[in-house]
């Protein structure tokens, strides 16, 4: 039988035929795709004609189509529906892929042709996008080590291969720890928990094969348990297990892996002539330097820490009033913050949650996209990789734009967190292709599925990434969609979160799961008033992670990352009752690959822009002002990485932003 991964897909919109793909197809498909890509690369490198943009740069853009198809499917299922077989394949594929792309970047004949085109760039009459693609291609080769020779070239290949193995191992260790631990709850242990937490715990117990409800290490379950359980002993047990992920001392311990990754990154940067990995990594970002990053983070840290410390005093007094003596602990914060929120804002999460139905929040995200950008969404009945997945065709004025896939529920086979990926990116060369975009979340599964307010924000966030992919309108895939600077990529996603806070959006879509009644205006006002509640805590836990990440890479790699982490936290005066959002052994953003390494700050960098960008709508008259929406699509959402990020933002807003809008938006300074 012909391998379906290597066929032309005669399916609706060219979607992957998931009903015909088995795990046994992946390895032979990858080998065939690698062989095909190697042949394409060799043909470019050995072309006897003079190197030009078409036969070298565009030829590189066109190469690797079969490999993109195979990897688009494989990494989708490996992240969202993992199995032991897929984990084994991932461990096998990682070094192969690292070696494959290292060979390409080290191909001297190929680099010589790229360099030849680069040297003649001023005489080639290139379009702005072509000039950008050429620059990025040449820079990518140089930064990958194409100019290295001899022993340095060999060592660079070894480093890349080892980093690929370690990143996969880090991710799988974390998944194994999250999957293996759960805490069984007796019926008495459910006292004080809202129905939605009890339902989620029972569903998790069924998935784990337990005799009753359980708490797992899925954020969508453990966080509400920490918020609502009056049992301090159980909160502590659950929190300590959550904190211990990747640091248990056994086969899944990630601490030595993190140390080796940091050491190899430093060596890699120095081989390329950089002082350290942060200098190497930030060269291509908007921030440019570690000093610029640290300056921004510390500008926000001081007011955030002051707010968190003031909040800690209030929560401690509440705890003491409950008869619990001693200091406020990390497993106490969410519990007493929730009680404080209920008291100060008269908000009951259990009463609030029925108004945030998953289906209605999906409708809300779609409706905002319709009003802003004219997009329409129609359900599709197509084979997908898991029964929980859903798909929609996205159109505008009757024209097909994209396929959007949503995979929303937590399960043991899915890695934690939420993400957006493109199984197929938008491009017009070498042929026109529309994007296939996936949002993956980890919401608790119940009937009906109910979200917390933070869950709803996550849904809007990931859909903002999806819009960046779906509205992309460039020629070359290498600059399509979210292929932008890391500290720019979160701008569309974080900006889209703001529409969840627009009163008319919640007024229309926040309807009760049982009665269908809209959220009462009084409750809606309270939700919006509480939007910045506990923002000191949220800002501090994030900034601590970003500052530790920067410290890991800005200077000599630490032999003991946990000691460096402790030093950084002590130096900034980390509040005792708050932990980093991602401690080192769980910091998949930074250690599962290079994506956010020395770049976790980018969420904050982007937030400076998103807060300022949303103010543009208010200044123009409202959240759905069509002129600003059109400018947003024209200058940011449709342009991908075809121009410099700072240029794009200035084209949209007329200037670069300051930090004031962010501080106002987080309630850390007076509005």
User: 183 pairs with which residues across the strands?
Assistant: 215
Q: H or E segment at 422? A: strand 419-424
Residue 664's Cβ-side half-sphere holds a number of Cα atoms within 13 Å equal to 12
- Where helices occur in 530-599 by DSSP H, the ranges are 535-553, 561-572, 588-591
The number of angstroms, rounded, from the C-alpha of 332 to the middle of its chain's C-alpha atoms is: 28
Q: H or E segment at 204? A: helix 195-208
Cβ proximity of 593 and 90 under 8 Å: no
Cβ proximity of 404 and 384 under 8 Å: no
Q: Which of 144, 171, 138 is nearest to 159 (CA)?
A: 144
Cβ proximity of 543 and 300 under 8 Å: yes
Known catalytic residue at 462? yes
Cβ proximity of 561 and 262 under 8 Å: yes
Backbone angles phi, psi at 395, to 5 degrees: -130, 165
Q: How many CB atoms lie within 10 A of CB 8?
A: 7
Choosing from 393, 462, 477, 607, the catalytic residue is: 462
Cβ proximity of 46 and 56 under 8 Å: no
Q: How many CB atoms lie within 10 A of CB 490?
A: 23
| HEC profile of 446-492 | CCCCECCHHHHHHHHHHHHHHHHHHCCCCCCHHHCCCCCCHHHHHHH
Classify 401 as helix, strand or coil.
strand
Give the contacts of 347 (CB within 8 A, at least 6 positions apart): 341, 523, 526, 527, 530
Q: Which of 437, 431, 385, 441 is nearest to 409 (CA)?
A: 441
d(CA 250, CA 272): 35
Residue 349's Cβ-side half-sphere holds a number of Cα atoms within 13 Å equal to 25
User: 394 pairs with which residues across the strands?
Assistant: 377, 402
Q: How many CB atoms lie within 10 A of CB 506?
A: 24
d(CA 124, CA 127): 9
Q: Which residue has the tokens 């929560």?
A: 315
DSSP 497: H
Residue 173's Cβ-side half-sphere holds a number of Cα atoms within 13 Å equal to 27
Backbone angles phi, psi at 403, to 5 degrees: -115, 130
Tokens of 322: 């409950």
Cβ proximity of 203 and 446 under 8 Å: yes
The number of angstroms, rounded, from the C-alpha of 504 to the middle of its chain's C-alpha atoms is: 28
d(CA 291, CA 275): 14
The number of angstroms, rounded, from the C-alpha of 78 to the middle of its chain's C-alpha atoms is: 16
- Active site amino acids: 462
């Amino acid at each position: 039988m012909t391998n379906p991964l290597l066929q032309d897909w005669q399916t609706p919109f060219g979607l992957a035929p998931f009903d015909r793909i088995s795990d046994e197809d992946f390895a032979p498909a990858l080998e065939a795709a690698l062989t095909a890509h190697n042949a394409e690369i060799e043909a470019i490198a050995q072309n006897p004609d003079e190197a030009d943009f078409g036969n070298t740069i565009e030829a590189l853009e066109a190469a690797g189509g079969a490999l993109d198809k195979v990897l688009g499917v494989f990494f989708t299922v490996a992240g969202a529906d993992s199995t032991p077989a897929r984990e084994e394949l991932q461990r096998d594929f990682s070094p192969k892929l690292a070696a494959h792309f290292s060979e390409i970047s080290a191909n001297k004949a190929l680099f010589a042709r790229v360099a030849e085109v680069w040297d003649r760039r001023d005489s080639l009459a290139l379009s702005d996008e072509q000039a950008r693609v050429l620059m990025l291609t040449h820079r990518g080769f140089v930064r990958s080590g194409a100019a290295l020779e001899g022993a340095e070239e060999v060592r660079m290949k070894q480093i890349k291969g080892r980093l690929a193995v370690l990143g996969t191992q880090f991710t799988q260790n974390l998944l194994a720890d999250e999957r293996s631990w759960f805490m069984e709850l007796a019926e008495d242990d459910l006292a004080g928990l809202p129905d939605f937490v009890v339902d989620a715990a029972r569903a998790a117990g069924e998935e784990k094969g337990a005799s009753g409800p359980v708490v797992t290490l899925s954020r969508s379950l453990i966080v509400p348990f920490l918020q609502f359980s009056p049992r301090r002993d159980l909160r502590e047990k659950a929190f300590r297990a959550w904190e211990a992920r990747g640091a248990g001392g056994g086969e899944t311990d990630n601490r030595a892996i993190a140390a080796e990754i940091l050491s190899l990154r430093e060596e890699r940067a120095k081989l390329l002539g950089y002082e350290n990995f942060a200098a190497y990594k930030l060269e291509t970002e908007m921030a440019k330097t570690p000093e610029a990053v640290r300056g921004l983070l510390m500008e926000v840290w001081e007011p955030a820490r002051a707010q968190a410390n003031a909040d800690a005093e209030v929560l401690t007094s509440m705890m003491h009033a409950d008869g619990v003596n001693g200091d406020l602990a990390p497993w106490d914060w969410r519990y007493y913050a929730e009680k404080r929120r209920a008291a100060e804002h008269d908000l009951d999460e259990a009463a609030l949650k029925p108004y945030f139905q998953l289906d209605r929040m999906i409708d809300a995200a779609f409706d905002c996209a319709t009003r802003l950008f004219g997009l329409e969404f129609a359900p599709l009945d197509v084979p997908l990789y898991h029964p929980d997945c859903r798909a929609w065709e996205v159109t505008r004025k009757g024209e097909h734009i994209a396929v959007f896939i949503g995979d929303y529920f937590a399960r043991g086979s899915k890695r934690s967190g939420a993400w957006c990926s493109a199984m197929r990116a938008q491009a017009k060369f070498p042929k026109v292709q529309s994007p296939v975009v996936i949002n993956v979340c980890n919401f608790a599964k119940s009937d009906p599925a109910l979200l917390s307010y933070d869950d709803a924000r996550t849904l809007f966030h990931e859909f903002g990434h999806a819009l960046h992919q779906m509205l992309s309108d460039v020629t070359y895939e290498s600059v399509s969609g979210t292929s932008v600077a890391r500290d720019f990529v979160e701008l569309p996603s974080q900006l889209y979160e703001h529409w969840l806070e627009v009163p008319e959006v919640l007024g229309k879509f926040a309807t009760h799961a049982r009665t269908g009644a809209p959220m009462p205006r009084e409750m809606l006002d309270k939700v919006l008033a509480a939007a910045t509640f506990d923002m000191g805590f949220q800002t501090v836990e994030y900034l601590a992670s970003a500052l530790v990440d920067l410290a890991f890479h800005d200077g000599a790699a630490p032999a003991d990352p946990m000691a460096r982490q402790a030093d950084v936290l002590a130096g900034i005066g980390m509040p005792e009752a708050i932990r980093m959002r991602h401690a080192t052994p769980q910091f998949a953003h930074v250690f599962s690959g290079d994506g956010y390494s020395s770049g976790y700050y980018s969420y904050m960098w982007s937030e400076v822009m998103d807060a300022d960008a949303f103010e543009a709508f208010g200044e123009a008259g409202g959240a759905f002002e069509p002129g600003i929406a059109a400018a947003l699509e024209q200058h940011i959402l449709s342009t991908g990485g075809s121009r410099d990020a700072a240029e794009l933002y200035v084209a949209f807003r007329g200037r670069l932003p300051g930090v004031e809008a962010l501080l106002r938006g987080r309630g850390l300074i007076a509005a």
